[in-house]
Chains A and B, each alone.
Chain A
Amino acid sequence: MLENLASGFAVALSPWNLAYAGFGAVLGTAIGVLPGLGPPATIAMLLPLTYGMEPVSAVIMLAGIFYGAMYGGSTTSILLNIPGEAGSVVTCLDGYRMTRSGRAGAALGIAAIGSFIAGTLGVIGLSLISPILAEFALRFGPAEYFSLVLLGLTMAVYLSGGSALKGLMMGVLGLLLGTVGLDPVLGAERFTFGLPNLTDGLDFVVVAMGLFGIAEVLSNLEAPEQPAALKTGIKNILPTREDWKRSWAPIARGSLFGFFIGVLPGGGAIISSFVSYAVEKKISKHPEQFGHGAIEGVAAPESANNAASVSSFIPLLTLGIPGNASIAMILVALMIHGIRPGPQLIQEHPDIFWGAIASMYLGNFMLLALNLPLVGLWVKLLRVPYSILSLVVVVICIVGAYSVNNSTFDVGVMIVFGVFGYLLRKGGFPAAPLILAMILGPILERSLQQAMISSAGDPLIFIEKPLSAGLLAVAALVALTPLLGLVRGGTTKPA
Chain B
Amino acid sequence: MTMRSARTVALTCALAGILGFGAAQAQEFPTKPITLIIPAGAGGSHDMTARAVTSVASEYLGQPIIIQLKPGGGGAIGSDQVARAPADGYTLLFGGPNWSTTLPAVEGRSKGPDDLDPICRINYSPVMVATKPDAPYKTFKEMIAWAKENPGKLVFGNAGPWSQADLTWKQISQITGIESRNVPHDGGGPSTLALLGGHVDVAINPTTTFMSYIQSGKLRPLAVLDDERDPNLPDVPTAKEEGVDVVYYLWRGMLAPKGTPRPIIEKLADACKKMTEDKTVQAMIKSFGDRIQYLGPDEFGKVWRTEFNLHKELGSSLKK
Interface residue? B48 (CB, 8 A):
yes
Name which residue of chain A comes closest to B216, CB basis. A343
Partner pick for A344 among B73, B152, B189, B216, CB 8 A cutoff: B216
Contact B76 A196 (CB under 8 A): yes
Contact A266 B43 (CB under 8 A): no
Contact A199 B73 (CB under 8 A): yes
Which residues of chain B come closer than 8 Å to A200, judged between CB atoms? 71-74
Interface residue? B16 (CB, 8 A):
no
Interface residue? A44 (CB, 8 A):
yes
CA A405 to CA B81, docked complex, whole Å: 14
- Pick out which of these stretches binds chain B: A15-23, A75-83, A325-333, A369-377: A325-333
Interface residue? A101 (CB, 8 A):
no
How does the 8 Å CB contact mask read for B4-46 relative to A, with 1 for contact and 0 for none?
Answer: 0000000000000000000000000000000000000111100
Contact A338 B287 (CB under 8 A): yes
Contact A449 B184 (CB under 8 A): yes
| With contact pairs A196-B109, A329-B43, A446-B186 given, residues A340 and B216 touching in the complex (Cβ less than 8 Å) | no
Which residues of chain B come closer than 8 Å to A141, judged between CB atoms? 194, 197-199
Which residues of chain A come closer than 8 Å to B289, judged between CB atoms? 340
Contact A51 B161 (CB under 8 A): no
Partner pick for A319 among B44, B193, B284, B288, CB 8 A cutoff: B193
Interface residue? B247 (CB, 8 A):
no
Interface residue? A475 (CB, 8 A):
no
Contact B196 A406 (CB under 8 A): no
Partner pick for A197 among B73, B184, B286, CB 8 A cutoff: B73
Contact A187 B213 (CB under 8 A): no
Interface residue? A139 (CB, 8 A):
yes
A358 to B: closest C-beta gap in Å: 24
Contact B47 A44 (CB under 8 A): yes
Interface residue? B302 (CB, 8 A):
no
Name which residue of chain A comes closest to B218, CB basis. A343
A237 to B: closest C-beta gap in Å: 38
Which interface residue of B68, B71, B72, B211 has the most chain A CB atoms within 10 A? B72
Which residues of chain B come closer than 8 Å to A187, judged between CB atoms? 107, 160-162
Interface residue? B212 (CB, 8 A):
yes
Interface set, chain B 147-168, CB cutoff 8 A to A: 152, 155, 160-162
Which residues of chain A come closer than 8 Å to B160, judged between CB atoms? 184, 187
Interface residue? A279 (CB, 8 A):
no
Interface residue? B85 (CB, 8 A):
no
Contact B47 A199 (CB under 8 A): no
Which residues of chain A come closer than 8 Å to B240, judged between CB atoms? none
| With contact pairs A138-B193, A331-B43 given, residues A320 and B212 touching in the complex (Cβ less than 8 Å) | yes
Which residues of chain A come closer than 8 Å to B161, judged between CB atoms? 182-187
Partner pick for B212 among A332, A344, A446, CB 8 A cutoff: A344
| With contact pairs A138-B193, A141-B199, A185-B184 given, residues A342 and B72 touching in the complex (Cβ less than 8 Å) | no
Interface residue? A453 (CB, 8 A):
yes
Which residues of chain B come closer than 8 Å to A47, judged between CB atoms? 51
Interface residue? A109 (CB, 8 A):
no
Interface residue? A258 (CB, 8 A):
no
Which residues of chain B come closer than 8 Å to A185, judged between CB atoms? 161, 184
How does the 8 Å CB contact mask read for B188-232 relative to A, with 1 for contact and 0 for none?
Answer: 011011101111100000000001110110100000000000000
Interface residue? B292 (CB, 8 A):
no
CA A87 to CA B215, docked complex, whole Å: 36
Interface residue? A450 (CB, 8 A):
yes
A314 to B: closest C-beta gap in Å: 12
Interface residue? A176 (CB, 8 A):
no
Partner pick for A336 among B73, B199, B216, B287, CB 8 A cutoff: B287
Interface residue? A240 (CB, 8 A):
no
Which residues of chain B come closer than 8 Å to A450, judged between CB atoms? 183-185, 199
Interface set, chain A 390-411, CB cutoff 8 A to B: 405-407
Name which residue of chain A comes closest to B153, CB basis. A456
DSSP majority for the B interface? mixed
Interface residue? B70 (CB, 8 A):
yes
| With contact pairs A48-B51, A196-B77 given, residues A454 and B199 touching in the complex (Cβ less than 8 Å) | yes
Interface residue? B80 (CB, 8 A):
yes
Name which residue of chain B comes closest to A406, CB basis. B70
| With contact pairs A138-B197, A343-B213, A406-B69 given, residues A454 and B43 touching in the complex (Cβ less than 8 Å) | no
Interface residue? A361 (CB, 8 A):
no
How does the 8 Å CB contact mask read for A331-353 relative to B, with 1 for contact and 0 for none?
Answer: 11001111011111000000000
A-B contacts, CB under 8 A, total: 139
Interface residue? B84 (CB, 8 A):
no
CA A446 to CA B191, docked complex, whole Å: 13
Interface residue? A362 (CB, 8 A):
no
CA A212 to CA B73, docked complex, whole Å: 26
Contact A142 B193 (CB under 8 A): no
Contact A266 B73 (CB under 8 A): no
Which residues of chain B come closer than 8 Å to A331, judged between CB atoms? 43
Partner pick for A196 among B73, B183, B196, B199, CB 8 A cutoff: B73
Contact A197 B72 (CB under 8 A): yes
Name which residue of chain A comes closest to B67, CB basis. A44
Partner pick for A342 among B69, B186, B199, B213, CB 8 A cutoff: B213
Interface residue? B182 (CB, 8 A):
yes
CA A184 to CA B69, docked complex, whole Å: 23
Which residues of chain A come closer than 8 Å to B42, judged between CB atoms? 40-41, 43-44, 325, 328-329
Name which residue of chain A comes closest to B189, CB basis. A321
Which residues of chain B come closer than 8 Å to A343, judged between CB atoms? 212-213, 216, 218
Contact A265 B200 (CB under 8 A): no
Interface residue? A140 (CB, 8 A):
yes
Which residues of chain B come closer than 8 Å to A341, judged between CB atoms? 212
CA A102 to CA B115, docked complex, whole Å: 59
Contact A340 B41 (CB under 8 A): no
B279 to A: closest C-beta gap in Å: 14
Contact A319 B72 (CB under 8 A): no
| With contact pairs A187-B162, A338-B287 given, residues A199 and B74 touching in the complex (Cβ less than 8 Å) | yes
Interface set, chain B 49-90, CB cutoff 8 A to A: 51-52, 55, 68-74, 76-77, 80
Name which residue of chain A comes closest to B68, CB basis. A406
B24 to A: closest C-beta gap in Å: 35
CA A285 to CA B218, docked complex, whole Å: 49
B304 to A: closest C-beta gap in Å: 22
A403 to B: closest C-beta gap in Å: 11
Interface residue? B181 (CB, 8 A):
yes
Which residues of chain A come closer than 8 Å to B71, judged between CB atoms? 200, 405
Contact A328 B215 (CB under 8 A): no
User: Could you list 6 A-B pairs, sorted by A, with CB under 8 Å?
Assistant: A187-B107, A199-B74, A336-B48, A343-B216, A450-B183, A450-B184
Additional pairs, 5, CB under 8 Å, beyond known A184-B184, A328-B42, A405-B72: A197-B72, A331-B43, A340-B289, A450-B199, A453-B182
Shortest beta-carbon contacts, A-B, top 9:
A187-B161, A342-B212, A138-B197, A338-B287, A141-B199, A44-B42, A328-B43, A199-B73, A196-B73
